[in-house]
């Protein structure tokens, strides 16, 4: 699949809101580069339109001006297939292209390719690390007991990923699956799937909110997370609904250090219970603990450390 540079026409000028382009409302322009997850207008319209759809499907008669508000995707699906504009065209990123997936972008190869090739992911690499028995803890990152990290970015945006400890315990991953864009995640819920061969596990989301970006490269090369857990190995970005509340349940700085000390002790006990006493030469665990000691058990490691 190829997209020529002439097809791409990124524009910073205000463009009609997707609700206007679909004919649901008139005269509404977008000035936040179609970052719908952070748009109050979109949240209100989505809530009203979903309610109207439910009433319509139940046979309840709709009345008043608000009764005409239906999901913008529903309005566009009523068009002939050849005239349904791709979301990227609506957002001014490409010339006209018809949507062939009923606006289910998560199932669209073109959407994935577009994000892979042209989305800008401003990942800031951590500079300062604290090391605990060979495991790195970047300063300024929050940590969840399920070994997921959270890095606050602009506004209420939070970048999320698996920490180095979990990735070394489980070893090189084949695939990491995050929820689709626009999906709701909840702190402490098993929303992220990791896979290694026939083995799968779920990881707990460290924050609640709406998914605004996913690292699609991890779908095919989950091992990228192992190579650079705290920057290029990020899993998803979330627009937090209540960041202050979420952060109260996470650890940072000294709390993380103490937690990691306890987790490493637990790991050593599991290894000794399975393979006998460890050498006392001061060495550290390797980068593929499960791969080198499968007798530890995938499910047991996930239950103990991922809390799933």
DSSP 274-300: HH-PPPSS-----S-HHHH-GGG-HHH
4, pLDDT greater than 60: no
| 145 and 270 both lie in a single domain | yes
pTM higher than 0.85 for the full model? no
| Domain limit, last residue, from 90, 118, 146 | 118
Q: How confident is the model at residue 167 (pLDDT cuts 50, 70, 90)?
A: very high
Same domain, 28 and 107: yes
Confidence of residue 116 (pLDDT cuts 50, 70, 90): low
Domain interval for residue 227: 122-308
Residues 90 and 172 in one domain: no
**What are the φ/ψ torsions at residue 175 (nearest 5 degrees)?**
-155, 140
Q: Are residues 85 and 141 in the same domain?
A: no
Q: Are residues 155 and 225 in the same domain?
A: yes
Tokens at residue 149, please?
């990290």
The whole-angstrom separation of Cα 113 and Cα 97 is: 14
145 and 96 together in one domain? no
Domain boundary among 118, 135, 157: 118
What pLDDT does residue 5 have?
42
Residues 105/93, Cβ–Cβ less than 8 Å: no
At residue 278, the pLDDT reads 65
φ and ψ of 45, to 5 deg: -65, -40
Domain boundary among 118, 141, 165: 118
Q: What is the pLDDT of residue 11?
A: 45
Of the two residues 104 and 250, the one the predictor is more confident about is: 250
pLDDT in tens, 45-101: 999 999 888 888 888 887 787 788 989 999 999 999 999 999 988 988 778 889 988
What distance in Å separates the CA atoms of residue 188 and residue 113, rounded to the nearest whole number?
31
Strands 142-144 and 29-30: unpaired
Clarify whether residues 143 and 288 are in a common domain.
yes
Structural domains of the chain, count: 2
Mean of the pLDDT values across residues 28-47? 87
Same domain, 139 and 226: yes
């Amino acid at each position: 699949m190829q997209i020529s540079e002439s097809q791409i026409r990124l524009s910073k000028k205000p463009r009609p809101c997707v609700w206007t382009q679909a004919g649901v409302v008139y005269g509404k322009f977008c000035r936040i580069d179609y970052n719908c997850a952070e748009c109050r207008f979109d949240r209100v319209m989505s809530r009203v339109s979903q309610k109207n759809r439910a009433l319509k499907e139940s046979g309840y008669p709709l009345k008043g001006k608000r009764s005409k508000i239906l999901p913008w995707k529903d309005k566009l699906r009523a068009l002939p297939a050849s005239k349904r504009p791709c979301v990227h065209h609506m957002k001014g990123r490409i010339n006209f292209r018809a949507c062939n997936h009923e606006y289910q972008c998560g199932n669209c190869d073109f959407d994935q390719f577009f994000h892979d090739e042209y989305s800008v992911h401003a990942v800031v690499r951590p500079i300062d690390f604290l090391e605990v028995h060979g495991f790195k803890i970047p300063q300024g990152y929050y940590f969840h007991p399920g070994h997921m990290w959270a890095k606050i970015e602009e506004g209420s945006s939070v970048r999320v990923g698996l920490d180095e400890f979990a990735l070394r315990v489980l070893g090189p991953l084949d695939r990491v699956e995050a929820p689709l864009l626009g999906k709701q995640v909840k702190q402490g819920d098993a929303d992220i799937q990791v896979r290694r061969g026939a083995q799968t596990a779920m990881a707990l989301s460290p924050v609640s909110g709406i998914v605004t970006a996913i690292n699609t490269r991890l779908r095919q090369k989950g091992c990228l997370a192992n190579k650079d857990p705290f920057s290029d190995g990020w899993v998803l970005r979330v627009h937090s609904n209540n960041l202050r509340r979420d952060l109260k349940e996470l650890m940072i700085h000294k709390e993380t250090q103490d937690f990691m000390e306890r987790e490493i002790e637990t790991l050593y006990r599991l290894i000794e219970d399975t393979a006998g006493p460890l050498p006392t030469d001061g060495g550290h665990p390797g980068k593929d603990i499960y791969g080198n000691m499968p007798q530890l058990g995938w499910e047991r490691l996930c239950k103990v450390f991922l809390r799933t």
